[in-house]
């Protein structure tokens, strides 16, 4: 198979779909890999590094898209990239379609086979290709939140961990999954006053066992959400429904009652955000105010630490890339129900139920679409 790796073009996105070591795994199996020039520069990998791994270097993205049978990316294709997709071409990347009608329409019209990292599953009910970026984003959310609380960013002017004789900041984490757990790990380590809210009792038990008395673990009801969000100095939104738009758990009324200069870091912004007041921002212009509350809603947070993020992501994606290249997409999908769950769009049909419901498309099962 011919695989293509274009350079990412989203604002301040420095990750890349494949590192040289991954390219080598493919070329040693007899596949061709075409990498756009300078695609790996953001992670410290040169064109020569890719050439040494057996890749071919293309002068531009158009050459990559025109020649590749499978495109391997990190972020969702931007409008100019979507125009270059063709029927039967495989697109393997993060998509986050439910809150993104224009992208979904373009992918449907392209006829391409669009497999989303974020809906691939595993035997434990997890999301193995989302997990590494959730780990990164969860940890980064505390860094971002600490900066948002600084007075120069119109925050409350607080140090997360306080100092002897001064109370630490109150950090409230909405959602106890991969993002929430990693956010809590960092916040606890910095000495903050941490509260985690979730509705899954098993998750709460696991968090309680992990953090013991270093973090409060609370069952999430409407009353508990309201109480803790209003009292918080920093709120981390880490809620996820696989494939679907994030639920708006942090309401406008909550935000209105928060302390002036408090901050919200909405890690769920890729799926539309879990705060009613959230709108996607960029690394270039990351924050804005609503009712004197600082909002940080960068849609590609892990792009700020591209080397860590790319290598972590490739560790997870490589086996699936190899399967798709070795077997072709039909056989690879039919052989692996978990990879099949990643299929969102194929031949103009939407095969992810949550996306179809969110954007009013007819839903076709992945099995039916492949048949």
List the catalytic residues: 96, 270
Cβ atoms of 363 and 343 closer than 8 Å:
no
Q: Which of 315, 321, 349, 352 has its CA nearest to residue 336?
A: 321
Q: Is 224 exposed, middle or buried (0-12, 13-18, 19+ CB in 10 A)?
A: middle
User: Which two tokens mark 110?
Assistant: 């392209």
Rounded Cα distance between 118 and 115, Å, is: 9
Angstrom distance (rounded) from CA 86 to CA 116 = 17
Please tell me the distance from the alpha carbon of residue 286 to that of residue 299, in angstroms, as a whole number: 9
Q: Are strands 343-346 and 113-116 parallel, antiparallel or unpaired?
A: antiparallel
Count other Cβ atoms within 10 Å, centred on residue 201. 9
- 10 Å Cβ neighbour count for 31? 19
For residue 93, give the nearest of 59, 111, 119, 132 by alpha carbon.
119
DSSP string spanning 101-114? Answer: HHHHHHHHHHT-EE
């Amino acid at each position: 198979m011919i695989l293509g790796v274009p350079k990412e073009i989203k604002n301040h996105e420095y990750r890349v779909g494949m590192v040289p070591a991954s390219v080598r795994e493919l070329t040693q199996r007899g596949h061709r890999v075409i990498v756009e020039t300078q695609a790996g520069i953001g992670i410290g990998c040169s064109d020569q590094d890719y050439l040494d791994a057996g890749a071919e270097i293309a002068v531009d993205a158009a050459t990559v898209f025109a020649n590749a049978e499978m495109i391997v990316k990190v972020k969702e294709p931007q409008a100019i990239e979507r125009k270059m997709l063709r029927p039967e071409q495989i697109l393997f990347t993060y998509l986050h379609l439910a809150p993104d009608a224009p992208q979904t329409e373009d992918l449907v019209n392209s006829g391409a086979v669009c497999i989303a990292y974020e809906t691939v599953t595993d035997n434990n009910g997890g999301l193995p290709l989302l997990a590494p970026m959730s780990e990164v984003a969860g940890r980064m959310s505390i860094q971002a939140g600490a900066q948002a609380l600084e007075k120069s960013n119109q925050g409350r002017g607080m140090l997360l961990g306080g100092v002897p004789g001064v109370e630490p900041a109150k950090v409230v984490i909405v959602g106890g999954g991969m993002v929430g757990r990693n956010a809590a790990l960092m916040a606890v380590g910095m000495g903050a006053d941490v509260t985690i809210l979730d509705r899954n009792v098993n998750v709460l038990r696991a968090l309680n066992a992990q953090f013991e008395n270093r973090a409060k673990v609370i069952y999430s009801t409407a009353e508990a959400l309201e109480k803790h969000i209003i009292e918080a100095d920093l709120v981390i939104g880490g809620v996820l429904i696989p494939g679907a738009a994030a639920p708006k758990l942090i309401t406008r009324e909550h935000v209105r009652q928060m302390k002036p200069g408090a901050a919200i870091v909405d890690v769920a912004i890729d799926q539309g955000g879990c705060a009613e007041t959230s709108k996607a921002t960029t690394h270039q212009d990351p924050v804005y105010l609503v009712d004197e509350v600082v909002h940080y809603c960068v849609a590609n947070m892990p792009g700020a630490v591209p080397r860590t993020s790319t290598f972590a992501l490739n560790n997870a994606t490589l086996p699936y890339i190899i399967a798709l290249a070795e077997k072709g997409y039909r056989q690879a999908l039919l052989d692996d129900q978990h990879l099949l769950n990643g299929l969102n769009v194929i031949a103009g049909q939407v095969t992810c139920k949550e996306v179809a419901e969110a954007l009013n498309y007819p839903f076709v099962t992945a099995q039916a679409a492949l048949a």
